[in-house]
Chain A
């Protein structure tokens, strides 16, 4: 049973460019959350998607946007990239949105902005 899969695993972009990261949730999960993890820091919540809608958003600018598809997979888009966007982007899935539910994380997409 595959867990959470993310693509690409690594990518390099230049300032001002746009990037799209993809996530397939664990089988049976319908909720996807995205986290940004800067080097040496804990993951920071970006947003959560459930039933194809953004349900909760962290303190990130509008340059960060997302989408959830009918098959529960999700994309994270970042526009006008800044050097500070360099980080590991983690996708997590769960069954529904309740706080008790354990999040299953993928291995992440490491973005480097030059």
Chain B
């Protein structure tokens, strides 16, 4: 069975602050994929990034960066110089490599960025 834990429930920052969203996962599979999705008030889940279990290279994309550490089963997400438009619920999710696998989500982190 897979499990995703997002221990933080709500984070509030002032605009331009950096913020890190934590994610810890559990799986017995050796090959799997990790995802971050953003859910604005409109409700639609917006895909941000996918990482596979055999690629621990961390990535920076604009103001976003991701830190994947297999040794600690963590896949953390950092927003640099946060903006009000970053306010949303952020979900970490896990999916195994096989066909017909489901996406297992954490409970989400509500990020509020104040002007």
Q: Are B102 and A102 in contact (CB under 8 A)?
A: no
Closest approach, in angstroms, between the C-beta of A50 and any C-beta of chain B?
7
Q: Are A43 and B45 in contact (CB under 8 A)?
A: yes
- A72 to B96: give the CA distance in the assembly, Å: 23
A106 — which chain B residues lie within 8 A by C-beta?
Answer: 44
Stretch at the interface among B59-67, B77-85, B104-112: B104-112
- A90 to B89: give the CA distance in the assembly, Å: 15
Indicate if A56 sits at the interface (CB-CB under 8 A): yes
How many chain B residues touch A (Cβ–Cβ < 8 Å)?
A: 29
Indicate if A25 sits at the interface (CB-CB under 8 A): no
Stretch at the interface among A16-24, A61-69, A73-81, A93-101: A93-101
Indicate if A82 sits at the interface (CB-CB under 8 A): no
List B residues 27-48 near A (Cβ within 8 Å).
32-33, 35, 37, 42-47
Closest approach, in angstroms, between the C-beta of B89 and any C-beta of chain A?
9
Given A42-B106, A42-B108, A45-B103, is A99 in contact with B98 using a C-beta cutoff of 8 Å? yes
Q: Are B44 and A48 in contact (CB under 8 A)?
A: no
Chain B: which residue is nearest A98 at the CB level?
A: B99
A41 — which chain B residues lie within 8 A by C-beta?
Answer: 107-108
Indicate if A86 sits at the interface (CB-CB under 8 A): no
Q: Are A108 and B44 in contact (CB under 8 A)?
A: yes
Closest approach, in angstroms, between the C-beta of B30 and any C-beta of chain A?
12
Closest approach, in angstroms, between the C-beta of B53 and any C-beta of chain A?
10
- A42 to B100: give the CA distance in the assembly, Å: 20
- Partner of A103 from B97, B103, B104 at Cβ < 8 Å: B103
Indicate if A107 sits at the interface (CB-CB under 8 A): yes
Q: Are B44 and A33 in contact (CB under 8 A)?
A: no
Indicate if B50 sits at the interface (CB-CB under 8 A): yes
B57 — which chain A residues lie within 8 A by C-beta?
Answer: none
User: What are the 5 closest A-B residue pairs judged by CB atoms, nearest first?
Assistant: A42-B105, A105-B45, A45-B102, A107-B44, A55-B100
- CB-defined A-B contacts under 8 Å, sample of 19: A33-B103, A40-B107, A41-B107, A42-B4, A42-B107, A44-B105, A45-B104, A48-B100, A56-B101, A92-B45, A99-B97, A99-B101, A100-B33, A102-B35, A102-B50, A105-B37, A107-B42, A107-B43, A108-B44
